[in-house]
């Protein structure tokens, strides 16, 4: 097999550690820990495939990243939760055994709606001292009108 580089993602230089990078479940983002106590997130931009050959834009580089101070030590692991909706499903199952009231039913309906089930990206990171942290970036709520517009 012959593999070739599609794109290089630039961020903090790790000099002594072997820290892996991984994609989000949606494939939209790439994440990696680092030796400087941050984790780095890149938006996967495969749009470079559509760039004109006459453009001065480098097709094989992605220097656009966001660094988030996560720990006080080397961030050895930073990953996206594979499926954030699994947490919500477990919460709904746990609550289903309780006595059903009008309020509980309304809450369950709201939570199971399209707007409430999407949590946004959830990130889990760990440092070399054993500290584990969970970060959640809530997605903007979609109103019923906007949802109806996008579904049609």
Q: What are the boundaries of each domain within the chain?
A: 1-81+121-142, 85-118
Owner of token pair 């760990």: 126
Residue 114 is predicted with a pLDDT of 40
Report the 10 Å Cβ neighbour count for 123.
20
Residue 8 is predicted with a pLDDT of 77
pTM of the predicted structure, to 2 decimals = 0.62
DSSP code per residue over 118-140: ---EEEEEEETTS-EEEEEEPPP
Arithmetic mean of pLDDT, 113-136: 77
């Amino acid at each position: 097999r012959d593999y070739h580089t599609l794109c290089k993602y630039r961020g903090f230089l790790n000099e002594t550690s072997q820290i892996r990078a991984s994609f989000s479940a949606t494939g939209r983002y790439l994440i990696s820990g680092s030796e400087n106590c941050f984790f780095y997130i890149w938006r996967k931009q495969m749009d470079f495939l559509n760039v004109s050959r006459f453009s001065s834009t480098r097709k094989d580089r992605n220097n656009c990243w966001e660094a988030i101070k996560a720990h006080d030590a080397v961030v050895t692991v930073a990953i996206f939760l594979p499926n954030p909706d699994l947490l919500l499903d477990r919460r709904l199952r746990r609550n289903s055994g309780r006595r059903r009231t009008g309020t509980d039913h309304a809450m369950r309906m709201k939570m199971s709606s399209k707007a409430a089930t999407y949590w946004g990206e959830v990130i889990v990171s760990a440092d070399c001292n054993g500290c584990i942290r969970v970060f959640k970036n809530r997605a903007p709520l979609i109103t019923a009108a906007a949802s109806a517009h996008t579904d049609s």
